[in-house]
Amino acid sequence: MQTHLLLLLAILTASCNTRNTGDVPSYSTPQSFSSLPKFYDINTDSALQISQYIRRLFQDSKGNIWLGTTDDGVCRFDGKSLTYFSTSQGFSGSAVRAITEDSQGNIWFATNGGVSKYDGKSFTNFTTKDGLMNNDVWSLCIDKFDNIWAGTVDGVCRLTENTFRPFPIPEAAETDHSIGIVSTKVVWCITEDKAGNIWFATNGGGAYRYDGEILTNFSKEDGLLDNFIQWILEDSHGNIWFATRHGGVSRYNGRAITNFTEKQGLGSNSAYIMLEDKNGNIWFGTGGWGAYRYDGTSFTNFRENQGLTKNHIQSILQDNSGTLFFGFSGGLFRFDRGVFVNIKRNDIWGNKPTD
């Protein structure tokens, strides 16, 4: 598995659309630009990007790497080639905000058209007809009991007997008009900690922890830097980290909250995504300042300096081989000896596809 995943260090190849019946074939030779997804522009470098916005990265139990995009559905890299899935293949939407896997090996996606489940052959979609509060879904979590949690712009739902049912989270009191989504009910991230608590990151209401019986709120009143929480991460020591939109990063050790801002070396107070790597470093993806790595003592900043991106990082993945990948607003990048290397869709051939 490690060998075929290392191929992603140099290649990510093309695919084309098929119907939602059986396995979706992919292609190991470049296709003409006329057959490629709509984001390609043959007059710019963006023509070579997997997608301009890689919002989510996920590696499944079989070693496949999934790339959720903002406009082009989801791509699967199987170690040899890329396969694109969109509404043409039965996928629920064009934007992918979360990807996860259940105990049966099904892959679940939060999209702008509902929730999709992929069983390896076809998609099953869940929408408001199946109880979702809204088809605009931003977060997903599968807990240890295989319950499916979905955060929509109108609140959180939990899947029970193939029907989503509302799970009430208090509506946020604050509103932020600096981004497109101003809903006070949206939940950006849902995650389960090692103790089985479910955490919810809200848009102006801080974070909530659900222990199976009681819903507990964590907010600025408790020491958090900001009530607009973008991401929640539990590290290997059991600390809970909160990435906030305007304040920086907060860490909760179960007793007290420690805050990290520009004063502690975090160059941007806007953090959107977090990941702990295999060495215990915590990585933060920021809005405009690239990535920061925290080694437990200090922060180190890494940026893409070739002008391709604006250094907005929306997703981070460390694959089974230990390689770090970052989804920028501008394409997919591999972290290689301290620098970001752009992975283009035709790197395997060394030249551009012909039209």
- Torsion over CA: 120, 109, 218, 234 (sign): positive
Parent domain of 183: 2-343
pLDDT in tens, 128-151: 999 999 999 999 999 999 999 999
Q: Tens of pLDDT along 298-355?
A: 999 999 887 778 899 999 999 999 999 999 988 999 998 888 988 888 754 222 323 2
> For residue 88, how many other CB atoms are within 10 A of its CB?
14
User: Considering only CA atoms, which of 155, 82, 142, 144 is closest in space to residue 109?
Assistant: 142
* 145 in any annotated domain: yes
- Bridge partners (DSSP) of residue 282 are 276, 294
Whole-angstrom CA distances from 163 to 115, 129, 196 are: 12, 9, 22
Residue 354 is assigned to a structural domain of this protein: no
Tell me the average pLDDT of the chain. 85
Backbone φ, ψ for residue 90 (5° rounding)? 95, 5
pLDDT one-digit tens code per residue, 212-228: 999 999 999 999 999 99
The number of domains in the chain is 1
Long-range contacts (CB closer than 8 Å, 24 or more residues apart) made by 274-277:
274/231, 274/233, 274/241, 274/243, 274/249, 274/316, 275/233, 275/316, 275/317, 275/318, 276/233, 276/235, 276/236, 277/318, 277/324
In this predicted structure, what is the pLDDT of residue 269?
86
Location of structure tokens 């892959």? 107
Tell me the two tokens of residue 94: 């064009």
Would you say residue 207 lies in a domain?
yes
Q: How far is Cα 140 from Cα 142, in angstroms, rounded to an integer?
A: 7
Q: Are 136 and 185 in contact (CB under 8 A)?
A: no
Q: What is the CATH number of the domain that holds 115?
A: 2.130.10.10
232 assigned to some structural domain: yes
Q: What is the pTM of this model?
A: 0.85
pLDDT tier, 46 (very low <50, low <70, confident <90, very high otherwise)? low
223-227 LR contacts (CB < 8 Å, sep 24+): 223/250, 223/256, 223/257, 223/259, 224/250, 224/257, 224/259, 225/249, 225/250, 225/259, 225/261, 225/269, 227/172, 227/174, 227/202
Residue 355 belongs to a domain? no
Give the tokens for residue 52: 């301009």
